[in-house]
Amino acid sequence: MSLGYLERGYLEKDELPPFPSEERLKKRAVAYIECPQPIPCSPCFESCPADAIEMKNINDPPKVDYEKCTGCMKCIRVCPGLAIFMLRLRDDGVGEVTLQYEFLPWLKKGDRVKLYNRKGEEIGEGVVNWVLPPERNDNTSLVRVEVPAELIFEVRAVKPVR
Amino acid sequence: MVRVDHGRLQEHPIIEFKRGREVTIYFNGQPVKAYEGETVAAALYAAGVRVFSRSFRWHRPRGFFCAIGKCSACMMEVDGIPNVRTCKVYVRDGMQVRTQSGLPDAERDVFSILDNVIDKVFPHGSHYTKFTTSKKAREFMLRQMRKFTGFGNPPRAVFQGEAELEEIETDVLVVGGGPGGMSAAINAGKYGARVLLVDENPFLGGQLVKQTHRFFGSAKERAGTRGIKIGQILEEELNSIENVEVRKETRVFGIYSGEAGAYQRIDDYRGKLLRIRAKKIVVATGAYERTLIFENNDLPGVYGAGGVQTLMNVYGIKPGNLGLIVGSGNVGLILTYQLMQAGVNVAAIVEAMPRIGGYFVHAAKVRRLGVPIYVRHTILKATGKKSVEGAVIAQLDDRWQPIPGTERKIDCDFICVAVGLSPTHELLYQAGCEMKFVPELGGLVPLRTRFNETSIKGIYVAGDVAGIEEATAAIMEGRIAGIHAAVTLGYGGEEAKKELEEAVKEIEEFRAGPFGERIICGLEKCTLESEVML
């Protein structure tokens, strides 16, 4: 078992979970969970109403059945590891990434943000087009950002443009 | 950016700081602004004080370190009483605080010159052999040395307060009101046992009060809920059980064959001695932070990771502007994220092991925010005169030796040491429990049965004092200890026995993953009734 990600602190391409099909990504948002390590944690599994997350025991890393996932966002609201991202490809060719956000100032719809990849490198700019405000989710805000379609598997953090 | 005023965070994404009335304390005669509810150490830190004391021999500057009363770096004279841990004393208007070593004070100490010369004139141990010509000379010099080393001067006045004695009888005494202790009290209490829970702090929750992150585990263990909230939930549950009594600011100082002695603080001038006769005692005293050996590791600005969490998340005080984190266990990783939430930058995380020690997801969330993580690296030294101005790190080879030429200077104004914890085992040791050094569990731990009963019948352990793990495991252990104590006292019947078996099964499942391997390996070395080798 290669554990290179534990030397780096981020996942390389070959360590990522399988990608949802383009067809599925176009239908509606889908949960993409970057949680490769066996740790005793199961709130995503327990919160899923569609039975789309497979977990054999509490230490088993979650696997998402992308066809069963309805994009309801229950799991991303509770993930303590901030490891879940909702991904979507819109018909107009724009990609959308929804991520958990716990920093001040809180982001609002319309805010421009810098986009960062898993290594913390700046890879572009995007626009926030929806937020779940922090007060509605125990101070973990959900932020949906419009990004270039080819970056939905890259963008993993945002910071406001000053 | 997060707004800061007078060293204090004015806003925070997760925590709402409720500060009390503004008061003035006097530090070496100078007025310092503080808020009720803050400790003296926290208020001084916010005011920019970094040198809290001087070391005994060399008069090296010492600063804030652990913030929870376990180290002695913050000892000062408070209202005439020497050797007070200022991180455990709350501010009061008009309070007089003085540093007790250094001339004229710890900050400007002229004796700091000794750091360079003392070994030549006064080699180690020479205080036993010098000034022994006559008793008078010896006594005189002892007094001078005592002053000189900063042990403080004993108060001249005779104690005027009242000392009361109270005798208490109870079924279960729980020592420590953190997650393990509260869980033990709840689970013994809910089956009808009379429980007394004592904690040395004026609040319950132990170290949960600074855990702003959402917890891992399963929904049953309240995963996805923030640690601070879990503390509140447990406390509410505790308060809802009638036969559970809670006494805060009460320290147990000894366990003597089934009886415990404790001191309860009533106010600044009054206290009570408690003699507690308990049929069962659950010790849940937690753990304290380890430090690491490197050059200048005593420089103010080198802090315990938990100390920084207390300062920042409990008192809302900004620890610095740019931190360096030593250790990539969950504490180091979570602290990094929490610092960033408070608007503090983190220069890097260094880890001596070849891989990150904590959960990958905790590492990923700071890595993507641009914090470098250097594995196989260590800190060689902290630089700075009276406080940290930087650090030097270097890469390690396969034999844990720094590789020459790989040294790198890191700019930072504080360093957090997050290299693990050691169980606060003293009470168990004093009580006579059989102890064993188990590195996997963090140090000296008691032998225990699978129901967490120690070698002394009726004394149980729960939480970090039984072995360093985490809050979720502490809650599970507390449940086991609490129910077992109740069951063996005849409470709860079949229902309790069934829950006990379930609780044991659940913790086994919880530890079944790779992160539990180490714990299980440690537990095998100290489980009673399975041929423990001492």
What is the model's pTM? 0.94
Residue in chain B nearest A75 by alpha carbon: B224
Do residues B329 and B222 both lie within one domain? no
Chain mean position to CA A110: 20
Structural domains of chain B, count: 3
Residue B514 and residue A34: Cβ atoms within 8 Å? no
Residue A80 and residue B213: Cβ atoms within 8 Å? yes
Q: Out of B340, B364, B512, whose CB is closest to A9?
A: B364
Domain boundary among B401, B419, B437: B419
Residue B156 lies in a domain: no
Domain boundary among B117, B149, B181: B149
Q: Which domain holds residue B86?
A: 8-149
Do residues B414 and B446 both lie within one domain? no
Per-position DSSP letters for A114-145, written without gaps between them: EEE-TTS-EEEEEEEEEEE-GGGTTT-EEEEE
> Distance (Å) from the C-alpha of residue A28 to the closest C-alpha of chain B?
25
pLDDT at B151 (0 to 100) = 75
Q: Out of A80, A139, A157, whose CB is closest to B223?
A: A80
Helix axes of B471-488 and B493-510: crossing angle, nearest 10 degrees: 150
Do residues B112 and B167 both lie within one domain? no
Give chain B's radius of gyration (CA, Å): 24
> Distance (Å) from the C-alpha of residue A89 to the closest C-alpha of chain B?
22
Residue B158 lies in a domain: no
Residues 17-56 of B with CB under 8 A from A: none
Do residues B222 and B238 both lie within one domain? yes
Do residues B347 and B392 both lie within one domain? yes
Residue in chain B nearest A10 by alpha carbon: B364
Residues 82-101 of A with CB under 8 A from B: 82-83
pLDDT at B317 (0 to 100) = 97
pLDDT at B530 (0 to 100) = 54
Q: How many CB pairs under 8 A join A and B?
A: 147
Helix (H, G, I), strand (E, B) or coil at B274: strand
What DSSP element (H or E) covers B198?
strand B195-198
Residues of B with Cβ-Cβ distance to A81 under 8 angstroms: 216, 359, 361-362, 364-365
Interface test mutation site (partner A, options B12, B16, B214, max chain A beta carbons within 10 A): B214
- Measure the CA–CA gap between B48 and B54, rounded to whole angstroms: 17
Residue A1 has pLDDT above 60, yes or no: no
For chain A, what are the domain ranges? 5-160
* Beta partners for residue B164, in sequence order: B272
Residues of A with Cβ-Cβ distance to B219 under 8 angstroms: 42-43, 46-47
Do residues B313 and B232 both lie within one domain? no
Q: Is A138 on the interface with B (CB under 8 A)?
A: yes
**CA of B242: how far to CAs of A46, B195, B442, in Å?**
33, 9, 36
The structure tokens listed for B436 are 């064993």
Do residues B132 and B261 both lie within one domain? no
Of B230, B191, B199, which Cα lies nearest the Cα of B214?
B230
Low-confidence ranges of chain B (pLDDT < 70): 157, 161, 530-534
Residue B180 near residue B474, CB atoms below 8 Å: yes
pLDDT at A123 (0 to 100) = 98
The whole-number average pLDDT for the span A38-65 is 95
Residue B154 lies in a domain: no
Q: Is A80 on the interface with B (CB under 8 A)?
A: yes
Cβ atoms within 10 Å of B404's Cβ, excluding its own = 9
Residue A58 and residue B509: Cβ atoms within 8 Å? yes
pLDDT at A2 (0 to 100) = 54
Of A13, A159, A145, which Cα lies nearest the Cα of A90?
A145
Report the CATH number that the domain containing residue B428 is assigned in CATH. 3.50.50.60
Residue B368 and residue A118: Cβ atoms within 8 Å? yes
> Distance (Å) from the C-alpha of residue A56 to the closest C-alpha of chain B?
12
Domain boundary among B396, B419, B442: B419
Q: Is A79 on the interface with B (CB under 8 A)?
A: yes
Do residues B441 and B455 both lie within one domain? yes
Query: How many Cα atoms sit within 13 Å of B251 on the Cβ side?
Result: 9
Per-position DSSP letters for B355-386, written without gaps between them: S--S-HHHHHHHHTTT--EEETEEEEEEE-SS
Mean pLDDT of chain A: 96
Residue B2 lies in a domain: no
Residue B191 lies in a domain: yes
> Distance (Å) from the C-alpha of residue A161 to the closest C-alpha of chain B?
12
**CA of B15: how far to CAs of B209, B211, B278, B312, B444, in Å?**
11, 10, 38, 10, 35
> ipTM greater than 0.95, yes or no?
yes
> Distance (Å) from the C-alpha of residue A86 to the closest C-alpha of chain B?
16
Do residues B113 and B127 both lie within one domain? yes
Helix (H, G, I), strand (E, B) or coil at B164: strand
Q: Is B239 on the interface with A (CB under 8 A)?
A: no
Residue B134 lies in a domain: yes
What is Dmax (Cα atoms) for chain B?
73
Tell me: the pLDDT tens digits for A85-112?
999 999 999 999 999 999 999 999 999 9
- Measure the CA–CA gap between A37 and A35, rounded to whole angstroms: 6
Q: Out of B13, B354, B510, whose CB is closest to A134?
A: B13
Any long-range contacts for B429-435 (C-beta under 8 Å, 24+ apart)?
B430/B254, B430/B255, B431/B254, B431/B255, B431/B256, B431/B281, B431/B283, B431/B456, B431/B459, B432/B456, B433/B459, B434/B534
Angle at A78 between CA A76 and CA A84, to 5 degrees: 30
Residue B216 and residue A10: Cβ atoms within 8 Å? no
> Distance (Å) from the C-alpha of residue B455 to the closest C-alpha of chain A?
30
pLDDT at B157 (0 to 100) = 67
Report the CATH number that the domain containing residue B98 is assigned in CATH. 3.10.20.440
Cβ atoms within 10 Å of B454's Cβ, excluding its own = 25
Do residues B264 and B385 both lie within one domain? no
Residue A58 near residue A41, CB atoms below 8 Å: yes
Residue B440 lies in a domain: yes
Do residues B393 and B512 both lie within one domain? no
The structure tokens listed for B219 are 């929904």
- Strand order of the sheet with strand B373-375? B302-304, B414-417, B322-326, B345-351, B373-375
Residue B1 lies in a domain: no
Do residues B199 and B93 both lie within one domain? no
